[in-house]
Homo-oligomer: A and B are copies of this chain.
């Protein structure tokens, strides 16, 4: 017999699952958080997904549960408390456990195995999920659980707020899936008056070491980096992902040039790793070609015309905005014409507290993490 899902105390378990999800990173995969509670509703394990290639939230929670069980078993063998009430209860019966997860467990074998199968194997008796997985690739997890005797409950019968919050976490991600394109992260590094270069074109370096190190971390996470041919000709960037010591990260993203101008054979972007040029200014076309090549997460590095094109087309899913504490007055603006003439048409953003605080000091710089406000069109 497990706790009742209509108990008001369940709200704190649901909130915890959302907070767990926010510990993950935006990118190729959705954000998911999972909480495992015992028959009395006490939390015994939590888990979250840390990004492509790492265990899903459910698998993370199951592995934390296993570790907790092992510890409990060891303590039981070692200790004989004076007060029997303090005696360690020993391993939990998995059938009495409930897993609460923000997204329907997947039924897909990718870089990791299907969560629905792992849950069945663990013997967990009950699964409550917030948002159904409607992607072609991974849906069907709930059905697999039911067929294998797990009690499955859809979140809408428990808490509409939970379903809404869990859905909002991945609104932009689901849109990218529907649009059959990679999830996109826009990188902007600018002065406080929003210049990305001085009048004479100098731009190295506007931001400090800590900011550049952080953006190398994002580069190491993505499958592709997109820059305009203008930026390649002006700055000749390497676009490699490096660690703090300057060493190349083990996985290097595909380097993508966008535009019609020729990229010289000597351009540094042609160096380490793969390089590809798309002779177009249409961001949809670039993303669609990248998706066909297996790119699930692309980073848009600049310059201003590329950043503006993706923003104007509503193809930016998150923004990492690095601000250096300086003014240039006149210079090269971070953005060009977005087709906005009046304040009421402004492109509205939301501070995004996923993957760290939305607003943080990074050395002498200020880093903002933002998401374009999602209007489901």
Known: A321-B192, A325-B348, A334-B193. A202 touches B340 (CB 8 A): no
Measured CB to CB, the nearest residue on chain B to A350 is B325
Q: Is the CB of B328 within 8 A of A340?
A: yes
Q: Is the CB of B342 within 8 A of A199?
A: yes
| Interface presence of A349 (CB below 8 A) | yes
Known: A194-B192, A194-B194, A198-B341. A346 touches B364 (CB 8 A): no
Q: How far is the CA of A193 from the CA of B368 in the complex (A)?
A: 13
Interface centre among A191, A193, A311, A351 (most CB of B within 10 A): A193
Q: Is the CB of B349 within 8 A of A326?
A: yes
| Interface presence of A343 (CB below 8 A) | yes
| Interface presence of A71 (CB below 8 A) | no
Which A329-377 residues have C-beta < 8 A from chain B?
Answer: 329-331, 333-351, 358-361, 364, 366, 368, 370
| Interface presence of A327 (CB below 8 A) | yes
For A346, the chain B residues whose CB sits under 8 A away are: 191, 198, 326-328
Q: Is the CB of A329 within 8 A of B337?
A: yes
For A334, the chain B residues whose CB sits under 8 A away are: 193
Q: Is the CB of A193 within 8 A of B194?
A: yes
Known: A192-B194, A340-B198. A325 touches B349 (CB 8 A): yes
| Interface presence of A69 (CB below 8 A) | no
| Interface presence of A62 (CB below 8 A) | no
Q: How far is the CA of A359 from the CA of B363 in the complex (A)?
A: 12
CB distance from A366 to the nearest CB of B (A): 5
Q: Is the CB of A333 within 8 A of B198?
A: no
Measured CB to CB, the nearest residue on chain B to A333 is B193
| Interface presence of A200 (CB below 8 A) | yes
For A197, the chain B residues whose CB sits under 8 A away are: 343
For A306, the chain B residues whose CB sits under 8 A away are: none
Known: A194-B194, A335-B329. A200 touches B350 (CB 8 A): no
Which of B321, B327, B368 lies in contact with A338, CB distance below 8 A? B327
Q: Is the CB of B328 within 8 A of A343?
A: yes
For A361, the chain B residues whose CB sits under 8 A away are: 351, 358-359
| Interface presence of A206 (CB below 8 A) | yes
For A213, the chain B residues whose CB sits under 8 A away are: none
Which A191-223 residues have C-beta < 8 A from chain B?
Answer: 191-195, 197-200, 202-204, 206
Q: Is the CB of B194 within 8 A of A341?
A: no
Nearest 5 CB-CB pairings of A with B? A329-B338, A194-B194, A202-B343, A325-B349, A326-B346
Chain A residues within 8 Å of B, Cβ to Cβ: 191-195, 197-200, 202-204, 206, 308, 311-312, 321, 325-331, 333-351, 358-361, 364, 366, 368, 370
